[in-house]
Amino acid sequence: MGVLNLFGLLGGASTERRGYELYTAAVRSARAPFFYAELKVPDTLDGRFDMVGLHAYLLIRRLSAEPAGQKVSQALFDAMFNDMDVNLREMGVGDLSVGKKVKVMWEAFHGRANAYAEALKSGPAALAAALERNLWPGESHGREAARLAAVVMAQDLHLSRLSLAQIYAGDNLFLQPENAAA
């Protein structure tokens, strides 16, 4: 074994790379057409940000549950906001505004993560209310919010049953949402 392998620099994923891989899995799941077609999540920048944030939150929640997962949890969070920075720049947001916009997104993510954490402790009705408030502000989407809450709770349970090794392998991280919404 070479010195680089000894320190995990070859032959295994680095923490940063794992964070990006898991973030990519969260984005892939958040893009499922089911959310936008069946549950009527707004197919807008805000709607997609909320769905990516929700999926990233679920992974961060699971990873943070174990001390060994906390560094990867932070790497996933960092990957998410690095990606947001890049996307804003690609959309033409000026360099001087990007930092402010990312800060607003960061605060929105933390607010939602806190709301979802509390709601997951309280049950499906509380989670549906939090989802409805964030995804459909000022609109009534109780049925869709309840179905999305069922998906989120099923995803959370599914992730809790995976070992960190299974999560890092990236196989079957998220259930198909249409199956979890039943």
77-130 residue pLDDT tens: 999 888 777 777 777 777 777 778 778 888 888 999 999 999 999 999 999 999
Residue-range definition of the domain harbouring residue 40: 13-180
**Distances in whole angstroms, Cα of residue 159 to Cα of each of 57, 129, 139, 156, 167:** 12, 22, 30, 5, 8
Residue 157 domain-assigned? yes
- CA angle 79/169/114 to nearest 5° reads 45
Give the DSSP per-residue string, 6-41. Answer: HTTSSSS--HHHHHHHHHHHHHHHHT-HHHHHTS--
Q: How many CB atoms lie within 10 A of CB 80?
A: 27
Residue 4 domain-assigned? no
Cα distance between residue 16 and residue 1, in whole Å: 22
Are the beta carbons of 122 and 139 closer than 8 angstroms?
A: no
pTM over 0.75? The answer is yes
29-38 residue pLDDT tens: 999 999 999 9
Structure tokens at 33: 């057409």
Residue 159 domain-assigned? yes
12-55 residue pLDDT tens: 469 999 999 999 999 999 999 999 999 999 999 889 999 999 99
Domain count, the chain: 1
